[in-house]
Amino acid sequence: MITGMSSSCFYPEETEKSLIKCGELGFKNVEIFVNTYSELFEPMRNEFKSIKEYYDLNVCSIHPFTSFAESTVIFGTYPRRVDDGMEFYKKYFEFAAFLEAKFLILHGAKIGPYADNEEYFERYARLYRIGKEFGITLSQENVVLYRSQSHNFIKNMSDYLGDEFSMTLDLKQCRRAGENPSDFIEAIGSKIEHLHLSDSNDNFDCLPPFEGKTDYKKLTEALISKGYKGNYIIELYRKNFDKAQQIVEAAEKIDKILL
């Protein structure tokens, strides 16, 4: 399958067990949600590497378990903590490089009294450059209640940073923030380099693709028209589906559109 899935789909099952399930379902492209500090180091990271090799997985991206703390640790107003935060995130970049991933996902700062926009952009650029030292791209995700929920903020960020910018577009986060994915696509085009897929209806804001109202053909055509060449990763949580086969069937339908 071209379409991939995130290990988040089976959370709170242990990360290695979630990764095995992704492989057993036939997925080749995966995103790994790191769920605790010890998973970044031996012996756990070696176990992830063994699973990756056994199932011939392409680890597209890594999602930090410390996303909730980025507001103060990366974008806060206490300089020493920011310096330490940048140093800590090297652990993620090293982990991502070990598993030959391409992206590290960033939530960034919540809406609130943190670094102003220009300083936010500069902090992102600083962390982006650290990531590049490891061969990893730092990718800003749009997240509800965070500054990144707004396509206008993302557009300003992209314009300010130029080539030192990457975005992960998350459909569920668009819904929760009242944003339209097409506005992000139009605003920054090819700088969207990674994609989190889900669906929704009038009762649920996160469902497996094709179980709601999303027009995936229209979405993929819009992305491709802007030069999108990234992965299509289904990112759900365990309460969002009944059987894993729903994710497999969704992926097969997306593959048909892409092929």
CA distance 12 to 166: 28
The whole domain housing 49 covers: 4-258
pTM of full prediction above 0.85: yes
Q: How many CB atoms lie within 10 A of CB 152?
A: 10
Output the domain CATH number for residue 28.
3.20.20.150
Q: What is the pLDDT along the chain (259 residues), one digit of tens a residue?
A: 699 999 999 999 999 999 999 999 999 999 999 999 999 999 999 999 999 999 999 999 999 999 999 999 999 999 999 999 999 999 999 999 999 999 999 999 999 999 999 999 999 999 999 999 999 999 999 999 999 999 999 999 999 999 999 999 999 999 999 999 999 999 998 999 999 999 999 999 999 999 999 999 999 999 999 999 999 999 999 999 999 999 999 999 999 999 8
Per the structure, the count of domains in the chain is: 1
Q: Which two tokens stand for residue 183?
A: 């506005």
CA distance 5 to 32: 9
Contact 199, 211 (CB under 8 A): yes
Q: Which of 89, 110, 109, 111 is nearest to 34 (CA)?
A: 89
